[in-house]
Structure 1
Amino acid sequence: MNEPAFDLPPEQLGAAAWYGPEMAKRTDWLMALSPAEIDEIETAARTLAARGTDIAAITASDFPLPMLAARLKSRVEAEVLNGRGFLLLRGLPVERWTMREAATAFYGLGVHLGSPRSQNAKGHVLGHVRDLGLDVKDPNVRIYQTHERQTYHTDSCDIVGLLCLKTARSGGLSALVSSTTIFNEMRRRRPDLLRLLFEPIATDRRGEVPTGQKPYFEIPVFNWHRGFLSAIYQRQYIDSAQRFPDAPRLGPRQIEALDMFDALANDPSLHLFMEFKPGDVQLVHNHTLLHDRTAFVDWPEPERRRHLLRLWLAASGARPLPEIFAQRYGSVAVGDRGGIIVHGTTLHAPLEAM
């Protein structure tokens, strides 16, 4: 006897279902920091940096932001977690800061929005996005460590934050696309393929395997839980998970569904390109957006090369996630989930790419 067909969630009509060309005409996603707010951040950062404070141990109470904290948290909850899914802060004076001051300022902002999570097996709660000259074809290399295009993906946290310190000679544009809009388009055009993306699929952990877990996790691309549509996706890692003999095989129709997902993400009528300036902070909601970076050509001088700092945050005001996310997130407890922890991981905030 055949099982009843899975009922797709309804079309999503909220602010998270946006289209790039329309979004590019708007400026409400840009939050310019005032001189007084910048001074507040700088004072807190320089005070802690001068003491040599352990960045990974900084809490919100250590980093007082009497004017900015409430405004920032309010906008993040309304616009990032419950709205379009992203916000760009502009104006941090990174050109006059040391690396320690910049890292302290960024981390201090982050702890007002959530709990920083480990971004790799080394326990980095502060990440450095630089080209380390590594080969993306190496199954233990993650794409942010190269100069190649990343392709649209999510990170393993509620919010990913990026602080631009230096830009590349050319390329390296940020790109965003709404996974909610991709869902709507697939629902209208090919609901038969969309249904397949609600089934578990193997995704490679790229060698960063928590104790007792498989070298891949099995979470559906789309997840409908308590009225929330959430996505988790990295196509290269889905494909590379097929290297494991015990990983469930991708069938032709699953591949067709993934190819359609990718085609929609790469459709100029859906996505949005954004050029970072030094001092910009981009905050992105992983459950409703996918992000990408175009390939870039860097400067020959090491001190001029493209350099971003990154935070993965577990937000206290985040949505509920289904239990299956615990395979990747460790837990689904709001405010204490996400990140990568393996045996022997010690949390720390390095001041250079490692």
Structure 2
Amino acid sequence: MSHSPAILTRPFEGRKAWTAATIDERDWRVPVSTACREEMLNFVAFMRRHPLPLLLRRPEHFEMPHTRELMERVRWILEHGALHAVIDRLPVEQMSDPEATVLYWILASLLGRPVPQKWDGTMIYEVTDTGAAYEYGVRASVTSVDITFHSDNIFSDWPPRYVGLLCLRPALSGGLSRLLSYPSLYNLLLAEYPQHLPRLYRPFPFNRQMEHAPDAPRVSYYPVFAYEGRLQVRCYVTLIRRGYAITGEPIDPETEAALVALKEATSRPQLWCEYRLERGQVQFVNNFETGHARTDFVDAPEPERKRLLIRLWVRDEGPVFFEEPIIDEQRQPLTVN
């Protein structure tokens, strides 16, 4: 017998429930101190003397007290403050792009365990325009199109807790980052669209973007909102609509109205924080409680000047794999630590 999920009926308060009118750059910008900068440069010099593949690098290989302090500040913001933070910035002018990527890997590792971002095990993901058309099986992150508010990997049992972006090269124009507090989004829906919340607590089919084994289902089912002492949001209207298209299920009037309300609510500029990531800056977001978006952009004509960001996913929960391991012959989950 199924039970209806409990629906939160009170608004969120405090730092997490920020809006454009209440958030300030000082809430999310984390400057790199002189001591921390020197420590980072010393780490790069250490790397040059002691080569090692990136995936084997660990924070404990090098004494980094100032960097650890920096990342504890970032963690506090992600969990208790603005829910997103920008480290300003890595001294990238004194290192190569691969060296900057390793330093960034170390920063992310101080927050938790980096995990694969694709079914094939890809750990380091380049966010850049490949020239591909945005269609089934193509992620918007490898195009130049506008990306609406969403969280990453919401079609999985184990979305990343934190999503990181290192800016190696910004676009010639456009490509602005937009952030949205899901607690504030929930408050708006509770105030203006309370009749649609029950539907948003029930599962939708999400397009899995072909990130699965060949014989696995092409969609997965999850609600947009879940609350068990803490809000967790799976918001991506585009993937939901594509999920319905894949399954052939009709979108009933209740579902259509809920999706329209969700889309309209996320379109309110008064909920947004918007800025441009510059070279050397690192953004981390709380993937459960923050929606992120990106405006479309125009690249420089020279390939070496094209927009390039490096994305990492971090979570300590669940298996290290992209999806829950399955015993093929029985199609049963394995227990993997």
TM-score by length of 1: 0.84
1:237 to partner: Cα distance: 1.2
- 1:92-145 CA-to-partner distances (Å, cap 9, x unmatched) read 1223321221111110111111100111123221211100111112x1100100
CA drift at 1:167: 0.9
SS in 1 for 2:21: helix
Distance 1:26 1:178 in 2: 15
Contact kept in structure 1, 2:17 and 2:183, CA below 8 Å: yes
**Paired position in structure 2 for 1:258:** 259
Identity %: 28
Matched, 1:204 2:194: no
Aligned to 2:17: 17
Shift in Å at residue 16 of structure 1?
Answer: 1.4
After superposing on structure 2, the runs of 4+ consecutive aligned residues of structure 1 that deviate more than 6 Å are: none
Give how far 1:52 is off.
3.4
Cross-structure match for 1:348: none
| 1:210 positional shift | 4.5
What is the correspondence of 1:142-153 to structure 2 with a 5 Å cutoff?
142-153=139-150
Matches within 5 A, 1:293-304: 293-304=294-305
Q: Distance in 2 between matches of 1:97 and 1:121?
A: 31
Q: Distance in 1 between matches of 2:262 and 2:65?
A: 43
| C-alpha distance in structure 1 between counterparts of 2:85 and 2:172, whole Å | 25
Is the Cα contact below 8 Å between 1:177 and 1:271 reproduced in 2? Answer: yes
Question: Which TM-score applies when normalising by structure 2?
Answer: 0.88
Residue 51 of structure 1: CA displacement? 3.7
8 Å CA contact retained: 1:9, 1:224? no
Residue 240 of structure 2 aligns with which residue?
Answer: 238
Alpha-carbon distance, 1:341 to partner: 7.6
| Change over 3 Å in CA distance of 1:337–1:198 after alignment to 2 | farther
1:271 alignment partner in structure 2 = 272
> 1:96 maps to what in 2?
94
Show the counterpart of 1:44: 43
Judged with a 3 Å threshold, the aligned counterparts in structure 2 of structure 1 residues 204 and 66 are, in CA distance, closer, same or farther, namely: same
Q: Matched residues in 1 for 2:9 and 2:52: separation?
A: 48
CA shift at 1:88, angstroms? 0.9
Q: Aligned-pair distance for 1:312?
A: 0.5
1:223 and 1:65, CA in 2 relative to 1: closer, same or farther beyond 3 A? Answer: same
Q: What runs of 5+ residues in structure 1 fail to find an aligned partner?
A: 316-331, 344-354
Report the CA distance shift for 1:212/1:224 in structure 2 as closer, same or farther (over 3 A). Answer: farther
| 1:6, distance to aligned residue in structure 2 (A) | 5.2
Q: Distance in 2 between matches of 1:239 and 1:122?
A: 25
- Which residue, out of 135, 151, 167, partners 1:164? 167
CA–CA separation in structure 2 for the residues paired with 1:101 and 1:18: 35
Once residues 223 and 5 of structure 2 are traced to their aligned partners in structure 1, the CA distance between those partners, rounded to angstroms, is 17
Give 1:183's aligned residue: 186
| Structure 1 equivalent of residue 156 of structure 2 | none
2:288 equivalent in structure 1: 287
Displacement of 1:276 in angstroms is 1.1
Distance change >3 Å, CA 79–CA 140, structure 1 → 2 = same
- Shift of the 286–5 alpha-carbon distance from structure 1 to 2, 3 Å rule, reads closer
Cα pair distance change 1:340/1:21, threshold 3 Å: farther
Structure 1 contact 85–285 (Cα < 8 Å) conserved: yes
Is the CA contact (8 Å cut-off) linking 1:210 and 1:340 kept in structure 2? no
Shift of the alpha carbon at 1:85? Answer: 0.4
SS of the residue aligned with 1:8?
Answer: coil
The answer to whether the Cα contact below 8 Å between 2:30 and 2:74 also exists between their aligned partners in 1 is no
- Figure out how many residues of one structure are paired with residues of the other and give that number: 318
Question: For 2:212 and 2:79, how far apart are their aligned partners in 1?
Answer: 28
Q: Which residue of 2 aligns with 1:305?
A: 306
Identify if the C-alpha distance between structure 1 residues 63 and 302 changes in structure 2 by more than 3 Å, giving closer, same or farther.
farther
Superposition deviation, residue 89 in structure 1: 0.6
Q: Please state how far the C-alpha of 1:339 moved relative to its aligned partner.
A: 4.2
Distance 1:342 1:172, change over 3 A: farther
2:239 partner letter: Y
**1:269 alignment partner, SS class:** helix
For the Cα contact (< 8 Å) 1:198–1:223, is it kept in 2?
yes
The amino acid across from 2:240 in the alignment is I
The answer to whether the 8 Å contact 2:165/2:282 transfers is: yes
Name the residue aligned to 1:347. Answer: none
Look up the match of 1:84. Answer: 82
Q: Which residue of 1 aligns with 2:61?
A: 62
Name the SS of the counterpart of 1:20 in structure 2: coil
